[in-house]
């Protein structure tokens, strides 16, 4: 009888999300290969999430209290036997063959330490905000540099040895707040390569509202990511930090500024319209993608949402930059040599 060592451990953190978890695990089980294991880390749920996972026959680990995604992922990694750790969010349904695709990518590219993918272009929730938010993520990742400068843990894998080497996910300063991006910064800092595999995709099940989108983007992405940029003095020209996006932030601010100053001088409306035209021109590929996915009315609805996104992202960065000038570093970036 031959012994088949575990090659890859799929780690799914979950907190009070039994419905999505069942669909997530069904896809992962269907995608399983010999030498793989699936680990669900229940982050102190108060509902049936751990029961759902247990009934589906996967390994279930439980934290006694809700500790955040970083702690849940790190705990799963400590128990994992695989040489590769594949992190999947509980509201993501991976494509068929996803596990084998990850293994193949890392076997064929021994120089690569981590690989991640994107949401697909078929988000489950049909609301305009949900469609906009999830399709934006898909588009940005599909246009990203394959030789990536960051990491995404919604559907991303990393060699176990490298994960231990760099110290895993930060559990204090960035837990639940761009902890995967911060991990990517440490991977880059220590000379490890990260691959963006555009063919590695999963359907996002999350339903967004305008309020949840703005709150999440500001508090859990824009502000902590701005702190990473300001303190590390590193803003890669990739994903949603490309030059066109940075210029769009400035133009979106001018659109709003000139519009509200227009009652004082009507000519400013022309400048506001010109700035808006500049945003549309810079983002024409994205808006064309929206048009192909949802038609004219959907695209028209997405443009103000995108302007709002640029506006609060820019204001968040300015807030962090001014705060840094006044008070200095608010947090200390984790050292790459720290061990979990």
- Domain with residue 75: its CATH number is 3.90.550.10
Checking if the pLDDT of 167 tops 50, the result is yes
Question: Residue 1 — pLDDT band, cuts 50, 70, 90?
Answer: very low
Per-residue pLDDT at 333: 43
Tell whether 152 and 31 lie within a shared domain. yes
Torsions phi, psi for 328 (to 5 deg): 80, -165
Checking if the pLDDT of 267 tops 70, the result is yes
Q: What is the arithmetic mean of pLDDT over 72-101?
A: 97
Per-residue pLDDT at 229: 84
Residue 222 maps to a domain: no
Residue 232 maps to a domain: no
- Which residues form the domain of 15? 8-208
Checking if the pLDDT of 201 tops 50, the result is yes
Per-residue pLDDT at 140: 93
Cβ-based neighbours of 320, under 8 Å, separated by 6 or more: 223, 226, 227, 230
Rounded Cα–Cα distance for residues 158 and 96 (Å): 20
Residue 163 maps to a domain: yes
Per-residue pLDDT at 241: 66
Checking if the pLDDT of 339 tops 50, the result is no
Which secondary structure element, helix H or strand E, spans residue 37, and what is its range?
Answer: strand 36-43
Cβ-based neighbours of 115, under 8 Å, separated by 6 or more: 102, 105, 106, 109, 156, 157, 158, 194, 195, 196, 197, 200
Tell whether 150 and 44 lie within a shared domain. yes
Per-residue pLDDT at 176: 74
Q: 165, 187, 208 — which closes off a domain?
A: 208
Residue 332 maps to a domain: no
Tell whether 35 and 155 lie within a shared domain. yes
Whether residue 194 contacts residue 151, with contact meaning beta carbons closer than 8 Å, is answered with yes
pLDDT tens digits along 300-319: 999 999 999 999 999 999 99
Per-residue pLDDT at 242: 75
Tell whether 31 and 153 lie within a shared domain. yes
Per-residue pLDDT at 87: 98
Tell whether 23 and 138 lie within a shared domain. yes
How many domains does the chain contain in total? Answer: 2
Nearest to 9 by CA among 96, 83, 62, 113: 83
Question: Residue 175 — pLDDT band, cuts 50, 70, 90?
Answer: confident
Per-residue pLDDT at 237: 59
Tell whether 202 and 260 lie within a shared domain. no
Checking if the pLDDT of 323 tops 90, the result is no
Question: Which 3-state string (H, E, C) describes 197-235?
Answer: EEEEEEEECCCCCHHHHHHHHHHHHHHHHHHHHHHHCCC
Checking if the pLDDT of 335 tops 50, the result is no
What's the first-to-final CA gap in the chain, in angstroms?
35
Cβ-based neighbours of 299, under 8 Å, separated by 6 or more: 287, 290, 291
Tell whether 244 and 204 lie within a shared domain. no
Residue 338 maps to a domain: no
CA 116 to chain centre: 10
Single pTM value for the model = 0.91
Tell whether 258 and 161 lie within a shared domain. no
Per-residue pLDDT at 239: 59
Per-residue pLDDT at 338: 33
Q: What is the arithmetic mean of pLDDT over 52-76?
A: 95
pLDDT tens digits along 206-255: 999 999 999 999 999 888 888 888 887 776 655 566 788 899 999 999 99
Tell whether 112 and 243 lie within a shared domain. no
Q: 208, 227, 254 — which closes off a domain?
A: 208
Residue 311 maps to a domain: yes
Tell whether 279 and 204 lie within a shared domain. no
Exposure b/e, 292-301, CB count within 10 A at least 16 = b: ebbeeeebee
Checking if the pLDDT of 332 tops 80, the result is no
Average pLDDT, the chain: 91
Tell whether 58 and 134 lie within a shared domain. yes
Rounded Cα–Cα distance for residues 17 and 41 (Å): 12
Residue 203 maps to a domain: yes
Tell whether 255 and 316 lie within a shared domain. yes
Residue 277 maps to a domain: yes
């Amino acid at each position: 009888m031959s012994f088949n060592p575990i090659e890859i451990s799929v780690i799914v953190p979950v907190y009070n999300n039994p419905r999505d978890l069942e669909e997530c695990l069904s896809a992962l089980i269907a995608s399983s290969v010999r030498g793989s294991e699936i680990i669900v880390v229940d982050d102190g749920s108060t509902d049936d999430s751990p029961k759902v996972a247990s009934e589906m026959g996967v390994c279930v680990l439980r934290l006694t209290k809700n500790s955040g995604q970083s702690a849940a992922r790190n705990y799963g990694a400590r128990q994992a036997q695989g040489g590769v750790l594949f992190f999947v969010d509980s509201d993501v349904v991976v494509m068929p063959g996803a596990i084998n695709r990850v293994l193949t990518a890392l076997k064929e590219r021994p120089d690569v330490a981590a690989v991640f993918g994107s949401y697909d272009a078929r988000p489950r929730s049909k609301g305009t905000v949900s469609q906009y938010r999830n399709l934006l993520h898909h588009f940005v990742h599909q246009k990203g540099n394959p030789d990536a400068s960051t990491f995404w843990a919604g559907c991303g894998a990393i060699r176990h040895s490298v994960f231990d080497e760099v110290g895993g996910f930060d559990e204090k300063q960035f837990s639940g707040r761009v902890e995967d991006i911060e991990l990517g910064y440490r991977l880059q800092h220590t000379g490890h390569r990260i691959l963006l595999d555009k063919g590695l995709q999963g359907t996002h099940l999350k339903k967004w509202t305008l309020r949840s989108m703005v709150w999440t983007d500001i508090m859990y992405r824009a502000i902590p990511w701005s702190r990473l940029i300001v303190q590390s003095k590193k803003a890669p020209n990739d994903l949603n930090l490309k030059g066109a996006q940075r210029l769009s932030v400035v133009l979106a601010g001018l659109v709003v500024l000139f519009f509200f100053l227009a009652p004082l001088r009507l000519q400013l409306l022309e400048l506001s319209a010109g700035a808006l035209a500049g945003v549309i021109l810079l983002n024409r590929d994205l808006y064309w993608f929206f048009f192909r996915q949802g038609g004219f009315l959907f695209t028209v609805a997405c443009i103000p949402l995108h302007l709002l996104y640029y506006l609060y992202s820019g204001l968040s960065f300015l807030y962090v930059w001014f705060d840094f000038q006044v008070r200095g570093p608010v947090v200390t970036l984790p050292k790459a040599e720290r061990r979990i």
